[in-house]
Amino acid sequence: MIAHDISTAVSHLGRLIEDAQTIVPFTGAGISTECGIPDFRSPGGVWAKNQPIPFDEFLARREMRDESWRRRFAMEEKFGAAKPGRGHRALASLYRVGKVPALITQNIDNLHQASGVPSQDVVELHGNTTYALCLECEKRFDLAWVRDKFESAGQHAPECACGGFIKTATVSFGQSMPVQAMARAEDLARRCDLFLAVGSSLVVWPAAGFPLMAKRNGAALVIINREPTEFDDIADLVIRNDIGDTLGPFITH
Ligand SMILES: [Zn+2]
């Protein structure tokens, strides 16, 4: 059913949360828009103007690696200043009381961790843009270090001491999905009794398969998203109100 107003939505959601033993939140760009992080996929969004750089081009061409870092640093003002929103804080509250074993996100902005959920319990399907990794030896790099090297080399991407390319810890187009994260997300979706899809249009596969998986295993499915999704028909509750307004009442700290 679709909640027809915010107070109905909040009270219905409150009952479902109270009844649930194991809640698995699955979040997308919509939860971070109130934090100033743009939705890359939205019409007029970053990707509408700048086609994302596919992984094979990143590997093949130095100019693409330089360009990829140039774009990343251009976004730093937004990513660097972003603080968790009401949605993040509400989900962190549910984590803290033990109802949420871990949460699954399509976001790369690190805001669930910033809201207090330990990083080992944030399952990132598309990686994380707030740090970088060597593609060969997996050594971790701070963005500040990369930026320093990048600028001092005349805007050229630095490489690892092992000779590997350094890239943000995100999953690019054409790069394989992280196997461990996918397996953990599947497991979480299968064993929850309430699946909360928050701020995702649920169209990006394979990630979009999780709500279906949860539903098939008997979980209640709640979809909180501004726009309709193709899973609204099978959801137990659909909330099209603002995410911060909807989840705000569930913040307990
Ligand atoms: Zn390396």
Span 161-193, pLDDT tens digits: 999 999 999 999 899 889 999 999 999 999 999
Residue 72's nearest CA partner among 4, 16, 128 is 128
Q: What is the pLDDT of residue 1?
A: 86
Exposed, middle or buried by CB within 10 Å (0-12, 13-18, 19+), for 206? exposed
Q: Report, as residue numbers or ranges, the catalytic residues.
A: 126
Measured distance CA(26)–CA(214) in Å, rounded: 11
pLDDT tens per residue across span 96-138: 999 999 999 999 999 999 999 999 999 999 999 999 999 999 9
Question: How many whole angstroms from 134 Cα to the centroid of ligand 1?
Answer: 5
Q: What is the pLDDT of residue 207?
A: 73
pLDDT tens per residue across span 10-56: 999 999 999 999 999 999 999 999 999 977 766 666 666 678 899 99
Binned at pLDDT 50, 70 and 90, residue 205 comes out as: confident
Question: How many whole angstroms from 236 Cα to the centroid of ligand 1?
Answer: 47
Question: How many whole angstroms from 53 Cα to the centroid of ligand 1?
Answer: 21
Average pLDDT value for residue range 223-238: 95
Measured distance CA(135)–CA(38) in Å, rounded: 27
What values do phi and psi take at 172, rounded to 5?
A: -80, 165
Q: What is the pLDDT of residue 46?
A: 63
Residue 222's nearest CA partner among 252, 250, 187 is 250
Torsion of CA 4, 10, 12, 18, to 10 degrees: 170
pLDDT tens per residue across span 215-230: 999 999 999 999 999 9
Measured distance CA(216)–CA(113) in Å, rounded: 29
Q: What is the pLDDT of residue 39?
A: 79
Exposed, middle or buried by CB within 10 Å (0-12, 13-18, 19+), for 108? buried
Measured distance CA(89)–CA(117) in Å, rounded: 9
pLDDT tens per residue across span 53-84: 999 999 999 999 999 999 999 999 888 899 99
Question: How many whole angstroms from 139 Cα to the centroid of ligand 1?
Answer: 6
